[in-house]
Structures are given as C-alpha cells and as structure tokens.
Structure 1
C-alpha cells in the first residue's frame, strides 16, 4: 500500500464520521423505541405511571447504548498494547446491553406471536387432558356388552326353566327361576346405570368441544392479544370444570361395587320343591348358578380395577404470560426475532472492528510518519517552541565554554595558548 493510499483511507474515515454518528444515533433511538414497547408490557399501575416509567427506562437505554459505542469507536482503534482489555470491556458491555434491551426488543418484535404460541400450546394440552378424561369416563362403557350378555343369559335360563324345566326337570316358577330372574335384574340395573352415564358423558363432551373450538378461534382470530387472552382464560376455567365433571361421571367405581356385591352378597335360596328329589335337583342348580355368579363377579371386578388403575386426569390451570415472558419461554420458535433484536444493539461492534483493522493497516504502512502527519496545529506550535528553547539552551552553554577558555589563556604565565576542544 502506497502512502497516497493510506492518505485515502484516512480521508475516507474522516468523511464517514458524520455517517457513523448518525448510524449510532438511529440505532440507539430504534433500540430505545422497541425497549419502550417491550417494557410497557411489564409495568403495572396507572397509564401515566406506565408511560413515564417506560419512557425513562427506554431513554436511559438509548443514552447508554450511544455512549458505550461512541467511547469504544473513538478509543479502541487508536489503542495498541491494551486493546485486549478493551475487547473484554466491549464483551461485558454487550452482555449488559442484551440484558437491559435486547430481550425487550425481542418482546416488541415477537411478543404477540409468542403469546399466540402460548395459547396454541395450552389449547393442545387442554385437548389432550379433555380427551383423556372423556376416555376414562367412557371406559366403563366397554363393560356394557359383557354385562348385557350375562343378564340375557340369566334371563334366558329363567325362561327355559319356567317353560320346560330344562335345569331341574320340572317346569314352573320355582326357586331356580326366581334366582335366575333376580341375577338378570341386578345385571340389568347395572347395565341401565352405565347407559345413562353415557348420556351424561356425551353432554359434557359436546360442551367441552364447544369450549375448545372457542379457544382455537381466539388463538387464530385478529385483534389485541390482551383481550383475546382474557377471553381465553374464561373459556379455560370453564373447560377445567368440564374435565373435573367428566372424571366424576365415570361409573367404574359403581361397577366395582356392584361386582363385589354380586359375588359376596349371594344368598342361596332354600329349595321349595314338592318332593325331596326335586329339592335335591334345585340345590344342585342353585350351586351351579352361584358359581356362575361368582365367576361373573370376579370378571367384572377385574375389568373395573383396570379402569380405575388409569391415572387420574388433573385439570389444567391456565397461566397467563406477559409478552416478554412468552418470548423467553418460546425463544426457540422465534430465533429470527431474537437475532434482529440483538443485532440492532450490537451492529456498532462490527463498525469498531472495521475501524480497528483500517487503523492498523495505516500504522503498519506509514510507520511513525503517520503519527507526525496527524499532529494538530497546536501540537506543531508546541513542538517548535520546545525546539527553540533547546537551541537557546545550547547557545547559552556554548557562551559559557568560550568564556572559560579565555580566562585560562590569560592566567597562563608561559607558553603559547592552544585551542581547547569542547565535546558536547
């Protein structure tokens, strides 16, 4: 690089001085505006208090950013030996700027979208819990075919015994028919209870589906996110109540109790046959019916236990978030917004690196000449004054030496005078 090229670089730096200052001012102002928008969501109180607090904080941020980068831009390119310490200070200041401004900038850029993301994720979680509660409530419906089949089997045996006496050999409504009819009636009552619970579950499920549809509509609709969040919270509270109601609608506990009662409370009736032979046959059939009832009771109790062993679905509590909190929680979903929020604060650091590189190139090519060429007129006048003072001191020192030589020559009694050489 020739000297004329180094002059050109210095000239370009001087020409860019105004552009640099304007750039710093605009970036600091832009960061302050976005900081104001972000911090306004965090403050609470009267509108005047919120406005003044946000303005003061954003103004302080703008001044801090402008002063910090201005200091580094003025000083760092001209520092040689201790530039590493300035880099440490630059990193520390950049971290502070991100802590006090960048995350608020990201909140201003993506706060509404982050809140919508929070509502959408919460809706999906509500959907999962609502479906789980509905499945638990309907789980007892899977027992309905077995209960219905057992009830029909007992009723069919009672009809056969009544009409043809296929079990005891004697037709009519005796002990066996009464016992079979009683078991069929008990299972029929349980069947009716399960069927009625299905209707209640369907009503709750339809209501919950409407709440979920309203919540999804609030997430995707337009309008201020704060108003939509408030309406969403109301729907979420109602849906939590429906989830609790679905948990309480399950008839699995009732099936468990009925199954236990069916097997444990079985009392064999006394045979009422007209002769001993018929009574013996009745007793044998009653024993077989008792064994069948206990087997059915055990199967129903086991199935009810499997349903009851399912984890209880706890109602979800909706937690509203502010825009900054939502941006931080869902930061991975808004990386471009975070990048822009950080870049608007740290772009001046790139300009400082450029200035440092250019100044190093100028020093390396021009050497010490660059330093003298960059002297101001005041520095030049001061240097000339010091030079005149040095010359005057040298002249005074020369006059003293000549006077002493004359005195020595006058005091010599004999011999010629030899010139004296003074080495300075």
Structure 2
C-alpha cells in the first residue's frame, strides 16, 4: 500500500510539472501587463519613449518573476536541512519584497489608479469646502455687531430729536450744542453701519462665486471619462477658488470696526456750550459729559467685540497638489485594500505552489524511507550493484565467503562480550 501511494504521489508531482510552468508563465505575463499600464501612468515624455520604456520595464518584471519562482519551485522542495531551508525562506522573503517594490504597487496603480485619483479630488473638494465656509464665517463675524451699532445710533438720534423738540436732556428746546453732539455721534455710527452693510453684499457675492467653483469641482470628480483631463480642469478651478477664498478673507470689516470704535472715544470733540445763560450752559456741559461717558463705554464694547473677531484663526493658504495614479494609490492605500490584495496576489501566488510542491516532496521522502530497501532501490542503482558484483567475481573475490567470515566475526564479538559480563546475554 505504501509503495502504491508513493508511486501515485510521484506520478502526481510529475503530472503537474508542466502545469506549474504554465501557471508561472501566465502569472508573470499578467503582472507584466499591469506593470506596463502602471508605468505608463507615471512616465513623462513623448508617446514613443513612454511606450518603449514601459514595455522594456514590464518585460523585465515578467522575466524576473518567472525566473525567481522557477528557481524556487526547482530547489526549495528538495532541500532537507533546517539551515539550508531557513536560508531559502529568507531568500524567498527578500524576493517577495523586491517583487512588491518593482511590480505590485504598479499593478495596484493600474487596477485602482483612476479611482484613487478621484478619491484625491473628492477629499480636496471637502477641504476646500471647509476653507470656504470658515472664510465666509470670518467675513460675516463683523455682521454680528450690526444690531448693537444700529441700536446705539438710533438711541443717539432719538435723544437728539427729543432734545430739539422737548428739551428732554437740558430742559430747554432748540438745536443747541447737545443736539449737535448727539447728531454727530449718530452720524458716525450710521456711517459705520452703512460700511458693515456694504461689506455684506461683497461677502455674499464672493461666497456665491466660491460655491459655483465647488459645484464645478464636484461635477468633475463624478463625471465619466478619462481622469487626466478632469484633473487638469479641476486644478484650474482649485486655483480660482483659492483666489476667491483669499478675497473673502480680506473682506472682513472687523479691523475697520475696531478703528471706528476707537475713533468714537479718542476722536470725541464736544462743542462749546451754546447757552447764553450760565445755568443753561452748565446743564449742557453736564449732559455732554454724560454723552462722553456713554460714547467711551460704547467704544470699549465695540472694540472688545472686534478684538474677539480678529483673534479668529485665519484660513491658511491651500494649494492643490496633483498626483499621479501610482502616487494616489500609495497615499490612499487603506481605501483600496482589495485592489492591493489582487495586485500582490498576482505576484506572490507562486509561493503557494512552491509550498505545495515542498509538502508533496516531503511526504514522498517519508514514504520512501518507510519502504524496505528492495522497494526503495531504483533500476539504475540495481544495475550499478550488478556491475560491481561482476567486477568482484572477475577479480576472484568470493562474496559469499566474505559475508560468512564477517558474520562469524560479529558472532565471536557478541560471545566474548557475554562471557565478560559487559554486554547483554544472548
């Protein structure tokens, strides 16, 4: 039974030898084809130069892969020693790393290069969207001061009207110095209010322009067709969007609000009391001092609010960096694990065949060692033994006599050991 199993195993190994060579050739060719596609995506120059360079590189990869795995399938299964087998495993690991370095990543670029570039464009769109939103928020931050400025302006104007019509502050009607001062403060705040309102229109226009660029970029990401023309157009849109974001950052009116708020207090010029009577002039001075205090408090509040807006982190300048398909596959490798697995499997699948052959040869050797010598000897070894026997007979050497003498000497040695008590008794 053991002899039959050994023969069947030997026959199986010989039967798959041709298939093994064919499989290695097909896998090496497939790797070379995808390597060619990957190399073409990263080379620059004339079409002819790129074609021949990619073809030569892919041919070299195919030959290297076929030769490497052929050597491994020929030598590794027949190596028995632990040290030699460990050395061969180390060589196999080194060869696998070299194959991955020279071919597998290019295979992955051919399999998933376009998808990786689209992934890069999609993530870039998200980054630009976040930048546009931050720039818009920074530009609109000063708009939050508009209600306070409007209320203060209306309050000064209302007090001016009340003082003119009913003398609500000084007790004397008419357009005197108090009315003049209140009107001056209301006019300054109204001018600041108009400046903030005008900036809102500019911010809205730039924001709409930026959203239009983003819409075009999103359309380019999902559009059908070759990726390279879309990537070029995407880069042009990215440059335009960067300019829009920069312009949006510069439209913030927070610094202008801060300067205007400081001018309210530092540039406060109270008119001389216009009352002819000393009592009226005294009342006007008191009211103007109260107005000065109120203006200083309002100036401080506006200045502090503007400082909070100015401390916001500005949007950093972002530059779109185009990537080749190979670089994109490396950068977004975690998103394309199936493609990487397929690319590496094409190159390293022969390792499975090598280990299968090694296991089969190991089982064959163990089965042959368990057989009797007569079943393990080959025809060549038998013929060689017969030739030796004939040569000894021609020389006059009696083989049977030599065997009998050897057996007698062995028996004599066993007997002497028994008599001396130094060995086991027969």
With normalisation by structure 1, the TM-score equals 0.90
Which string of whole-angstrom CA distances, capped at 9 and with x for unpartnered residues, describes residues 55-88 of structure 1? 0000000000000001111111111012121111
Give SS of 2:275's match: coil
Please say if 1:365 is aligned against 2:367.
Answer: yes
The structure-2 alpha-carbon separation of the partners of 1:252 and 1:390, relative to structure 1 and needing over 3 Å to count, comes to same
Question: In the aligned structure 2, how far is the partner of 1:347 from the partner of 1:169?
Answer: 101
Question: In the aligned structure 2, how far is the partner of 1:5 from the partner of 1:389?
Answer: 32
Which has the larger displacement, 35-44 or 232-241?
35-44
- Name the residue aligned to 1:130: 132
Query: What is the aligned counterpart of 1:334 among 333, 336, 351?
Result: 336
- Name the residue aligned to 1:62: 62
Check the 8 A contact 2:217/2:237 in 1, yes or no: yes
Give SS of 1:16's match: helix
* CA drift at 1:315: 2.5
Counterparts in 2 of 1:216-227, with a 5 A limit? 216-227=218-229
Question: In the aligned structure 2, how far is the partner of 1:398 from the partner of 1:113?
Answer: 83
Counterparts in 2 of 1:333-352, with a 5 A limit? 333-352=335-354
Question: In the aligned structure 1, how far is the partner of 2:384 from the partner of 2:14?
Answer: 29
Counterparts in 2 of 1:108-187, with a 5 A limit? 108-187=110-189
- Name the residue aligned to 1:417: none
Check the 8 A contact 2:368/2:376 in 1, yes or no: no
The structure-2 alpha-carbon separation of the partners of 1:78 and 1:145, relative to structure 1 and needing over 3 Å to count, comes to same
- Name the residue aligned to 1:253: 255
The structure-2 alpha-carbon separation of the partners of 1:335 and 1:179, relative to structure 1 and needing over 3 Å to count, comes to same
- Name the residue aligned to 2:326: 324
Give SS of 1:319's match: coil
Which string of whole-angstrom CA distances, capped at 9 and with x for unpartnered residues, describes residues 396-424 of structure 1? 3659xxxxxxxxxxxxxxxxxxxxxxx9x
Which string of whole-angstrom CA distances, capped at 9 and with x for unpartnered residues, describes residues 283-306 of structure 1? 000000000000010000000000
The structure-2 alpha-carbon separation of the partners of 1:55 and 1:376, relative to structure 1 and needing over 3 Å to count, comes to farther
* CA drift at 1:362: 1.1
Query: What is the aligned counterpart of 2:312 among 306, 310, 313?
Result: 310
Give SS of 2:395's match: helix
RMSD: 2.0
- Name the residue aligned to 1:388: 387
Query: What is the aligned counterpart of 1:86 among 78, 85, 88?
Result: 88
- Name the residue aligned to 2:77: 77
Which string of whole-angstrom CA distances, capped at 9 and with x for unpartnered residues, describes residues 122-168 of structure 1? 00000000110011011100000000000000000000000000100
Query: What is the aligned counterpart of 1:286 among 283, 288, 292?
Result: 288
- Name the residue aligned to 1:410: none
Which string of whole-angstrom CA distances, capped at 9 and with x for unpartnered residues, describes residues 289-336 of structure 1? 000000010000000000000011123100000001000000010011
Question: In the aligned structure 2, how far is the partner of 1:371 from the partner of 1:242?
Answer: 90
* CA drift at 1:35: 0.4
Check the 8 A contact 1:35/1:104 in 2, yes or no: yes
Question: In the aligned structure 2, how far is the partner of 1:335 from the partner of 1:248?
Answer: 43
Which string of whole-angstrom CA distances, capped at 9 and with x for unpartnered residues, describes residues 161-218 of structure 1? 0000010010000000000000000000000000000000111011110000000000
- Name the residue aligned to 1:228: 230
Question: In the aligned structure 2, how far is the partner of 1:372 from the partner of 1:345?
Answer: 44
Question: In the aligned structure 2, how far is the partner of 1:216 from the partner of 1:291?
Answer: 55
Structure 2: gaps of 5 or more residues: 399-408, 410-426
The structure-2 alpha-carbon separation of the partners of 1:239 and 1:184, relative to structure 1 and needing over 3 Å to count, comes to same
* CA drift at 1:2: 2.1
Structure 1: gaps of 5 or more residues: 400-422
Counterparts in 2 of 1:1-12, with a 5 A limit? 2-12=2-12
Query: What is the aligned counterpart of 1:96 among 95, 98, 103?
Result: 98
